[in-house]
């Protein structure tokens, strides 16, 4: 695949990113307060015994999910910026409202340029003319200006085609290009959802949060 698959489209859009420190939290938004009332009375005599049993009341309160992002393409200030950082890991996670994709980097250097956008399938594989189908009904393409694994085989050593089992809506993650210092992942979803993209450090990583639910 050529590196220009995404940049011409997303360069027309406003940059949407933030840089943060520390670990982004994934908070369960479901709150279940429990109120228990106990009434017990026992009277004894030679002829009569009266007992009032325990009564328990449970109230469940759900908090609506906050609005998160939109479906528009997003990119860093300079999506073509190349970096000496290399890939370390790619993983998924979720909470009540969102599913998350984390691309973790390692090494020394500034964070690479990136661009994320929905694209139609099928997706071109690498520098060939071969196309591949990605599982799901929507494809989110993630381009980063760094090697996932470099020419000396340093960096990410995990699978390049992943079918996550810890999430419900992210169906597949497939590395479709890793060439000339640029890596591209195709993320298959069951449908298009609003999303945000954030950059964190300690370790450096790109975090994509996908709002898969409006209500928990």
Per-residue model confidence as pLDDT tens digits over 184-200 = 999 999 999 999 999 99
- Where in the sequence is the domain holding 48, given as residue range(s)? 30-62
How many separate domains does the chain show? 2
Burial per residue of 137-160, b for 16 or more beta-carbon CB atoms within 10 angstroms, e otherwise? ebbbbbbbbbbbbbeeeebbeeee
Dihedral angle computed from the Cα positions of residues 75, 190, 165 and 187, in that order, rounded to the nearest 10 degrees: -30
Tell me: do 203 and 115 sit in the same domain.
yes
Which range has the worst mean pLDDT, 33-47, 56-70, 104-118, 130-144? 33-47
| Cβ proximity of 208 and 101 under 8 Å | yes
Average pLDDT, integer, range 141-151: 98
Q: What is the CATH number of the domain that holds 205?
A: 2.60.40.3500
Residues 99 and 190 in one domain: yes
In this prediction, what percent of the chain has a pLDDT beyond 70?
70
- The pLDDT of residue 202 is 94
In this structure, the answer to whether residues 196 and 94 fall within a common structural domain is: yes
Q: How far apart are CA 153 and CA 148, in angstroms?
A: 9
Q: Is the pTM of this model over 0.85?
A: no
């Amino acid at each position: 695949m050529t590196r220009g698959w995404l940049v011409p489209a997303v360069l027309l859009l406003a940059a949407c990113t933030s840089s943060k420190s520390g670990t982004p939290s994934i908070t369960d938004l479901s709150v279940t307060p429990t109120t228990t009332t106990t009434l017990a009375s026992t009277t004894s005599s030679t002829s009569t015994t009266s007992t009032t049993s325990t009564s328990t009341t449970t109230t469940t309160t759900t908090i609506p999910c906050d609005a998160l992002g939109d479906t528009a393409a997003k990119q860093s200030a300079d999506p073509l910026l190349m970096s000496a950082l290399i890939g370390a890991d790619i993983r998924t996670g979720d909470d009540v409202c969102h599913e998350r994709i984390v691309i973790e980097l390692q090494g020394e250097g500034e964070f690479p340029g990136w661009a994320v956008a929905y694209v139609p399938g099928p997706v071109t594989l690498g520098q060939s003319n071969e196309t591949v189908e990605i599982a799901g009904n929507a494809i989110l393409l993630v381009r980063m200006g760094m090697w996932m694994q470099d020419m000396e085989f340093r960096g990410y050593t995990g699978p390049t085609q992943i079918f996550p089992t810890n999430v419900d809506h992210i169906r597949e993650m497939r590395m479709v290009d890793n060439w000339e210092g640029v890596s591209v992942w195709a993320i298959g979803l069951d449908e298009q959802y609003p999303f945000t993209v954030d950059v964190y450090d300690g370790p450096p990583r790109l975090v994509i949060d996908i709002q898969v639910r409006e209500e928990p």
